[in-house]
């Protein structure tokens, strides 16, 4: 049984007919062709699939596409507006990634964190990113990137 | 991972939702989905239909009137943790909700889903017990109210009937002289409570203990009310020593959980440590 859904993805309207069991992560990657959103653990732990759903960071592997009907989604592809988003630039400048697999979700979570707490302490950054796992960096450069981005965005 | 196939319903009222549940005996209620979707992806649950209550307006919102805090079933952990109304009227609930999972999970998970799922290692059941919450539910036969004490029946089992939906959680607003605290020892990977202690302490004008309540997540198949500890503290001076002996002499969890993460004996000892810690913090806040 297909269900018609209509979402705003990165500012553009996307409509489709989907099976109820289709996960939002798969919808974004396979139906909308936006493969920047990664599927890591597929068990709501790692945060690689994090996207903004109506402005809030959520794990798209644990949301049904039908639940997102009528909502606005921002993926990593939708952050840059000509230039890199300040968080993307800060990850580049501070070498906040190694293999890069966690990076799209990590950056989306940072954007969400800074939208609710524009000047987080180091502890608040580490705590705020507990839903995103990185197996390469040891997190230090990620924390530096968030501090740098916060400075740029407040500046 | 895909869940197995199911029919999807998105009713716009509670009445419509319970009619669908009644007509589909193995249907499940979908709210935030952060407990249900993971078990469906693992095929541990294969409901034939989901009833998505996430857009029913009547299940949203936080309000306070006549000494009661009322929270709609679809209010998220994030909304609870950051609500000044909840922080004032039931700070224990805000504190516990703020410790669930991570920020992404807290944006989606709901109080109604949490309590109805009744995972004993989650953070809200003990808070609901310690705060004396009343759970309002609606089914095809009408509405009824269940005290938190009677709601949690066994491991992931509640007093809800198959056609009933938890609609609202009502909590008596904290009065003067009352303090509370949630102290959690979490599993380092999953963040679930190996032991979560929820304490509420009310002091008399002279500082002595008028009443105390200590409840636990994570240590048994349901949330546990250590009522003997609370009773033994009443009338005491709430000194560290009084709390220590109340916990050591009166806390017993006969059916403590033992698993690959922690033995039953370890959980019993952890409960004493976390329980005393929660009581001390609650006392200091009272």
pLDDT, one tens digit per residue, over A26-75 is: 999 999 999 999 999 999 999 999 999 999 999 999 999 999 999 999 99
| Structural domain ending residue among the three candidates A53, A78, A103 | A78
Q: Does one domain contain both A56 and A114?
A: no
Specify the length of chain A in residues.
155
**Would you say domain B7-52 falls under CATH 3.30.43.10?**
yes
B206 touches chain A (CB under 8 A): no
Work out the pLDDT band at A81, boundaries 50, 70, 90: confident
Instruction: Please report the ipTM that was assigned to this predicted complex.
Output: 0.97
In what helix (H) or strand (E) does residue A90 lie, and over which residues does it extend? helix A86-93
Work out the pLDDT band at B189, boundaries 50, 70, 90: confident
Average confidence (pLDDT) over A95-101: 97
Question: A-chain residues within 8 Å CB-CB of B78?
Answer: 56
Domain chopping of chain B, boundaries:
7-52, 57-172, 178-285
Which residue of chain A is at minimal alpha-carbon distance from B7? Answer: A20
Fold match between domain B7-52 and domain B178-285: no
| Overall number of domains in chain A | 2
Q: Is B104 or B254 the better-scoring residue by pLDDT?
A: B104
Q: Which domain holds residue A113?
A: 86-154
Domain B57-172 classification at class level:
alpha beta
Work out the pLDDT band at A112, boundaries 50, 70, 90: very high
CATH code (residue A106): 1.10.150.120
CATH number of B178-285: 3.30.390.50
Buried b (16+ CB within 10 A) or exposed e, B134-154: bbbbbbeeeeeebebeebbee
Which positions ≥6 away from A20 have C-beta within 8 Å?
A1, A3, A64, A66, B5, B6, B7, B8, B50
CATH code (residue A53): 3.10.20.30
Question: B-chain residues within 8 Å CB-CB of A58?
Answer: 104, 107-108
Q: Could you tell me what percentage of chain A is helix, strand and coil, using 3-state DSSP and rounding each to the nearest 5?
A: 40, 20, 40
- The B residues from 132 to 171 touching A (CB cutoff 8 Å) are none
CB contact under 8 A, A64 and B54: no
The per-residue pLDDT for B254 is 84
The per-residue pLDDT for A141 is 98
CB contact under 8 A, B103 and A43: no
B84 touches chain A (CB under 8 A): no
Q: Does one domain contain both A61 and A120?
A: no
pLDDT at residue A1 is higher than 70: no
| Structural domain ending residue among the three candidates A78, A95, A111 | A78
Which residue of chain B is at minimal alpha-carbon distance from A42? Answer: B1
Closest to A21 (Cβ–Cβ): which among B3, B78, B190?
A: B3
């Amino acid at each position: 049984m297909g269900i018609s859904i209509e979402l705003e993805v990165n500012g553009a309207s996307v409509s489709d007919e989907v099976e109820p069991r289709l996960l939002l992560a798969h919808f974004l990657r396979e139906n909308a062709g936006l493969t920047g959103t990664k599927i890591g653990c597929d068990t709501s732990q790692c945060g690689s699939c994090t996207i903004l759903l109506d402005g809030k960071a959520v794990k798209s592997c644990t949301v049904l596409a039908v639940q997102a009907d009528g909502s606005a989604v921002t993926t990593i592809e939708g952050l840059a507006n000509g230039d890199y988003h300040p968080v993307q630039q800060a990850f580049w400048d501070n070498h906040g990634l190694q293999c890069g697999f966690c990076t799209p979700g990590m950056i989306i979570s940072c954007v969400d964190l800074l939208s609710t707490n524009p000047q987080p302490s180091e502890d608040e950054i580490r705590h705020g990113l507990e839903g995103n796992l990185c197996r390469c960096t040891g997190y230090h450069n990620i924390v530096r990137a968030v501090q740098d981005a916060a400075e740029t965005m407040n500046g | 991972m895909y869940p197995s196939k199911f029919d999807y319903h998105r009713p716009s009222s509670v009445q419509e939702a319970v009619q669908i549940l009644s007509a589909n005996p193995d249907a499940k209620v979908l709210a935030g989905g952060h407990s249900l979707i993971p078990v469906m992806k693992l095929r541990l649950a294969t409901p034939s239909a989901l009833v998505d209550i996430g857009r029913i307006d009547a299940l949203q919102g936080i309000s306070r009137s006549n000494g009661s805090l009322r929270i709609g079933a679809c209010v998220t952990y994030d909304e609870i943790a950051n609500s000044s109304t909840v922080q004032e009227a039931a700070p224990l609930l805000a504190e516990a909700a703020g410790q669930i999972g991570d920020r992404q999970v807290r944006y989606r998970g709901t109080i109604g889903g949490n309590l109805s799922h009744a995972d004993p290692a989650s953070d809200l059941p003990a808070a609901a017990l310690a705060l004396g919450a009343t759970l309002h539910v609606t089914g095809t036969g009408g509405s009824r109210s269940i005290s938190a004490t009677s709601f949690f029946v066994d491991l992931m089992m509640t007093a809800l009937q198959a056609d009933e939906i938890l609609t609202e959680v009502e909590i008596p607003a904290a009065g003067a002289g009352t303090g509370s605290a949630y102290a959690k020892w979490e599993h380092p990977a999953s963040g679930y409570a190996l032991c979560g202690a929820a304490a509420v302490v009310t002091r008399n004008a002279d500082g002595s203990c008028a009443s105390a309540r200590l409840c636990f997540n994570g240590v048994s198949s349901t949330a546990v009310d250590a009522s003997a500890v609370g009773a033994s503290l009443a009338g005491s001076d709430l000194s560290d020593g009084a709390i220590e002996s109340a916990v050591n002499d009166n806390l017993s969890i006969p059916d403590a959980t033992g698993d690959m993460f922690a033995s039953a004996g370890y959980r019993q000892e952890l409960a004493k440590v976390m329980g005393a810690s929660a009581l001390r913090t609650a006392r200091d806040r009272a």
